[in-house]
Amino acid sequence: MTYKETIEYLYNQLPVYQKVGGLAYKEGLDNSLKLDAYFSHPHRKYKTIHVAGTNGKGSTSHLLAAVLQESGYKVGLYTSPHLVDFRERIRVNGEKISEQYIVDFVEEHREAFEPIQPSFFELTMMMSFLYFAEMEVDVAIIEVGLGGRLDSTNIITPDLSVITNISLDHVQFLGDTIEKIATEKAGIMKQNIPVIIGEAKDSVREVFENTAERVGAPIFFAEDEKLILSSLKTASGWLFDTKHYSHLKGELSGYAQLKNAATVLCAIKELQKIGYKIPSKAVYSGFAYVTELTGLMGRWQIIQELHPKIVCDTGHNVAGIKYIVEQLVNEKYSTLHIVLGMVNDKDISSVLSLLPKKAIYYFTKASIPRAINERELETMGRKLGLTGYSYPTVADAIIAAKEWAAPNDFIFIGGSNFIVADALEALS
C-alpha cells in the first residue's frame, strides 16, 4: 500500500474517535495490553512522562519536550489529535514519523493486530511506542487520549505524571461532575511516581490528594509552588520572572499559557530532583522556541499579523473558550469576525453563551461526521444573540470573513480542533 492508502485503511478499518466520536471509544486496557505483549513492551526501553488533563495537556507536553530536547535528550512525543497530517502525532526531536515507517508497520503487523480489533488510538499509540524504541529515544512524553484511568496510554510506568487541570468535558465517558472526571484523570497516578497538578480547587484538589495518598504517589501542586513571581503579556508571547529563571520568554501567547508555564516549571523542578539534567539555557530556549522545536500548532496561532490580523486556537470547551474570550476582549480592533464550528458531543449552548455578542459570526462545520451542521449552529447562536451567516465549509467561511473584514479588523477561527485543522489546510 502507499502511504495514502495506509492512512485510509487505518481510518476505514479502525474506529477513529477524531471522526466518529463515542462509537470509537473503547474503555479499558485489554487491547493495549494484548498489543503491548505482541510488540514485547517497547515503552519499557526508555523513560516516559505521562500528561493528562482537560485542557492544556498538548501545550504542556510540547513545552516539556522542547526543554528536554534542548537539554540534550533524544525526545519522543506522542500527542493527539493531529491537525493537518497524521504524522504530527508521533515525533522524535520535533521530526514527524516517516510515511514509510507507517506503511511498513501496517503491512508487517496487520495479521497480528486485526484479530485484536484495536481502536485507531490504541494502534497508533502502540505504533508510537515501537517507533520510539527503534529510534532509541531517551525519554518520551506521552499525552493521554481521553480520561486517564482507562486510557490506553495508562499501561506505561512513567518517571513523572502531570495532570494539567479539570473541567467538564467528555461527560458521557468520564462522568457528569468535575469530581468524577478528576477521579478518572487521577487514575494515572502510580505508587512512588511523583505527580504534578497544574490547577485544582476545593473538591477536585481533595480527589487528587486522596488518590495520591491511597496509591502512594508524591503530589505537588503548581499553584502552591508559586514559581512565577510576575508575568507580562507581550505582543510576541509572555515574559515571566520566576524563582529560578528571570526574564523567561514564553513563545506561546494564549492566556491559558500562564497556567501551563507554571505547570511545566513545576515539572522541570521535579525532574531535576529525580536526576534529569536540565540546564537553565535549555529552559530559556525551550520556552522561547517551542513551536520550531516541536511543531506545535493551533495554540493562539497567528496566521496573519495585519490587515486584518487572523488568529486560530483549538480551545473547544467551556474552560478553553473562557481564556479565548478574555484574550479577544483585550485585542485591539474595529470589528471582530469569528469563524466558528463545533462538534456535536460538546456542551455547545454553554460555549455559545460565553462568546462575545459584538462580533460578526461565520458559522461553519469541519469536514468530519461529528461536526454539527452549520445551519443548526447558526440557529443556536442566534437564540443567544450571536449574529452572522452560515457556510458549508471552513474554507468558504474564511473567504467570506476575509472579504468582509477591514484592514484594522480581527478574524478569529476556532470552536474545535477540526475547524482549526481545516483552516490551516485551507490557508496553506
Cα 297 from Cα 424, distance rounded (Å): 9
pLDDT digits (tens, 9 = 90+) for 176-195: 799 999 999 999 999 999 99
Supply the CATH classification number for the domain 3-294.
3.40.1190.10
pLDDT digits (tens, 9 = 90+) for 157-170: 999 999 999 986 65
pLDDT digits (tens, 9 = 90+) for 130-139: 999 999 999 9
Q: How far is CA 206 from CA 182, 247, 297, 329, in A?
A: 10, 34, 34, 34
Q: Residue 305's CB: how many other CB atoms inside 10 A?
A: 10
Question: Does pLDDT of 23 surpass 70?
Answer: no
Per-residue pLDDT, averaged over 190-205, amounts to 97
> 418: number of CA atoms within 13 Å, CB side?
19
Cα 164 from Cα 61, distance rounded (Å): 10
Question: Does pLDDT of 20 surpass 50?
Answer: no
Q: Which three three-digit cell numbers place residue 4? A: 495514502
Of 333, 383, 380, 389, nearest to 360 (Cα)? 389
> Can you say whether the dihedral through the CA atoms of 415, 167, 77, 230 is positive or negative?
positive
End-to-end CA, the chain: 27
DSSP code string of 393-411: SHHHHHHHHHHH--TT-EE
DSSP code string of 321-368: HHHHHHHHHHS--SSEEEEE--BTTS-HHHHHHHS-SSSEEEE---SS
Q: Residue 397's CB: how many other CB atoms inside 10 A?
A: 30
Map out the domains of the chain as residue ranges.
3-294, 301-427
Of 249, 293, 265, nearest to 70 (Cα)? 293
Of 20, 57, 51, nearest to 319 (Cα)? 57
Cα 339 from Cα 321, distance rounded (Å): 14
pTM > 0.75? yes
Supply the CATH classification number for the domain 301-427.
3.90.190.20
pLDDT digits (tens, 9 = 90+) for 29-59: 999 999 999 999 999 999 999 999 999 999 9
